[in-house]
Amino acid sequence: MSAPQKTPEKSMADLAAEYGLAPNEYQVVLDRLGREPNQVELGVFSVMWSEHCSYKSSKIHLGKFPTTGDRVICGPGENAGVIDIDDGDACIFKMESHNHPSFIEPYQGAATGVGGIMRDVFTMGARPVALLNALRFGDPSHEKTKRLVSGVVSGIGGYGNCVGVPTVAGETNFHAGYNGNILVNAMCVGLAKADSIFYSAAPSAGLSVVYFGSKTGRDGIHGATMSSAEFDDESESKRPTVQVGDPFAEKLLIEATLELMASGAVAAIQDMGAAGLTSSSVEMAGKGGVGIELNMDAVPQREEGMTAYEMMLSESQERMLAVLKPGREEDGYRVFQKWGLDAAVIGVTTDTGRLVLKHHGETVCDVPLAPLFDDAPLYDRPWVQPELQPKLNPSDIPAPENWADAVMKVVACPDMASKRWIWEQYDRHVMADTLQDSATGADAGVVRVHGTDKGLAVTSDCTPRYVQNDPYEGGKQAVAEAWRNLTAVGSRPIAITDNLNFGNPQRPEIMGQIVRAIDGMAEACRELVFPVVSGNVSLYNETNGVAIPPTPTVGAVGLLPNYDVVTGFSTMAEGDTLVLIGQTHGELGASIYLREVLGREDGAPPPVDLKLEKKTGDFVRDLIEAGDLTVVHDLSDGGLIGAAADLALASDVGVTLDASSATHAHIFLFGEDQARYLVAVSDADALIAKAQAAGLHASVVGRAGGDAFASRGDKGELFSIPVAHLREWHEGWMPGWMEARG
């Protein structure tokens, strides 16, 4: 029988295209249902099958990641990853993006990114204890950049500070490649008891489904779909798809959720994030192999006359969905009343395997859950090997004409300059357990595990210019640097979360970046015994066909068995000797020196020898745990100059480097070779002997003392810059730029 003729207004097929479903995907919906969907059903399919919710372009490649290990309690697939940190304690963490919303509405986009990632963590039973963020903005001279920085930073600070969770670490980069599409990646780390982890799968039929938290409004409708599409010049008109956050409601929600869990009433629980009530109800029922029936009339509503479609797709913030154990509804209500939250029983789990929605006495949706949950489209998209940059011969790269000028350009460039202007807006010490943060001078943030001697080290890392020039090596490097940063504060790296930010996967060259970056990351995770336990994929980050630099951000967690044995780079003392552990060949491809001093962005990035990374890092960590090292900094951006300047500025002590090496001084000082650590010690000979015994290279590269940041070369002094002057430039760039007119 032929389908009835559609009115010329808009067919369901037209609507499906508008909601982001490809024609072949819409055909699958028709086949699964055996009929045409109504608008509510179409909305449900479109968000569940969006890139944001289904990972349809990346899922087959994400399977390459190692996801298990001795300390992994729960890997990918739940709201967040869970790892064992000894003594019956667990750490729960995840990173997610809020890129598109933050570009359209910077304050609320960033704020709700923080709120959303915290809900992913406490919905599993953890109390959030630390926040991180990885931010990428456009060129500082671009007309939108300053406004976006101001809005995003205010949003992160405004939300995190009000909820009362410290923001302890992060990174901020600037590049013209993000002019039309900024990245805001937020990470949350929480603590729970290993035997009290909560999951999202509804265990059986006949249980009450309870909604609690804030009321549902019309904000954020089709947010997941919007996050799965590229930008164009009209994107700012999409403000209605950006959610509005209330941190005070989130604080109440955290306390209520943890108390409800402690009462023993919870059978399953899920936060309402992307795709709101649709995603949370479908996932709870789908994972549990049951059906779910919801009464939309019972949903707490903020606005008049809301349709079932609007309620199911709203991404209003600070909302949770729980399945309660039989007869425990009253316990739930007592908790919700105590914390002043809206709550209602809005449905029941069933044995039908279907999602059924009733509104005003009518059935407005009746679809099988299996296709929504299990049978989302899965694409092995065509890809091409990315065009790789040639390896540069270090001897072909000119030395600076003016050494002092070159050093200042590197140390005070937007990527390297102090981000004090940013982190001073974040409460870094609320909860009183922060040991290392953005202000203290260390490679990772460190927080105490309250009431114990343990600490957690946390970091976020990616070098997009490396990934741009070679996605495979750049992917390896992002993981290796996160591992190094955790090692450099004395912690034992355990696991990572990731946020894979790329352009349009339907373009083979972009898909090639995704595939090869994942290949590199997966290899690094295997070699470093550093499994992936959670993560997020953010694609279609492009505007008018111009993609962002590929940015696979790595968030990582390590364990300090004793938080008193923690290192940083603020305790270097007058008379200390600087020793470089690791070999320098002079990797200048895709380096900060090349870009900031010579105005070039070419060249292969530094190769990452993973076995050497592991060997070197384990050696450094053993020395830290033995009490032999207190000042440690890994080498990355800016090479030896970057690391030594950080030590001088954090410790407020001068440094004189010795570049009288056989290689050219600029190669030695600015090379970004991997697997290297800079340490300050009183007895260099003993350390070098230990390194040699371990089969590692180590050499004296300078001394601490005086009030200048300087270097000697084989023909005398290369440069000498007063530390006070260096600090002025290093800390002055960002406030100077933010305060400048225009």
Neighbours of 521 (CB within 10 A): 29
How far, in Å, CA of 93 to CA of 88, rounded?
17
Q: What's 586-651 look like in SS3?
A: CCCCCCHHHHHHHCCCCCCCCCCCHHHHHHHHHHHHHHHHCCCCCEEEECCCCHHHHHHHHHHHHH
Any catalytic annotation for residue 666?
no
Cα separation of 253 and 275, whole Å?
A: 19
Element (H, E) at 392: none
Strand, helix or coil at 537? strand
Question: Which residue from 698, 697, 699, 723 is spatially nearest to 709, judged by alpha carbons?
Answer: 723
Burial label, 7 (beta-carbon count in 10 A; 0-12, 13-18, 19+) = exposed
What separation in angstroms does the CA of 709 have from each of 293, 399, 507, 647, 706?
Answer: 68, 19, 47, 10, 9
The whole-angstrom separation of Cα 167 and Cα 237 is 31
Q: For the beta carbon of residue 632, count every other beta carbon within 10 angstroms.
A: 26
**CA–CA distances in Å: residue 159 to residues 166, 244, 338, 370:** 11, 11, 23, 37
Nearest to 726 by CA among 711, 705, 707, 712: 707
What the block records as the tokens of 739 is 């305060």
Give me Rg for the CA atoms of the chain: 26
* Separation CA 221–CA 241 (nearest Å): 5
With beta carbons less than 8 A apart as the criterion, state whether 433 and 129 touch: yes
Query: Dmax over Cα atoms in the chain, in whole Å?
Result: 91
Catalytic residue among 52, 61, 100, 175: 52
Residue type, 53: C
Known catalytic membership, residue 52? yes
Q: Which two tokens stand for residue 668?
A: 């030695």
Question: 231: number of CA atoms within 13 Å, CB side?
Answer: 24
Q: Which of 98, 359, 633, 730 is catalytic?
A: 98
Q: Which amino acid is at 207?
A: L
Residues 533, 189 contacting (CB under 8 angstroms): no
Whether the CB-CB separation of 496 and 368 falls below 8 Å is answered with no
Q: Residue 124 class from Cβ within 10 Å (0-12 exposed, 13-18 middle, 19+ buried)?
A: buried
Catalytically active residues, by annotation: 52, 98
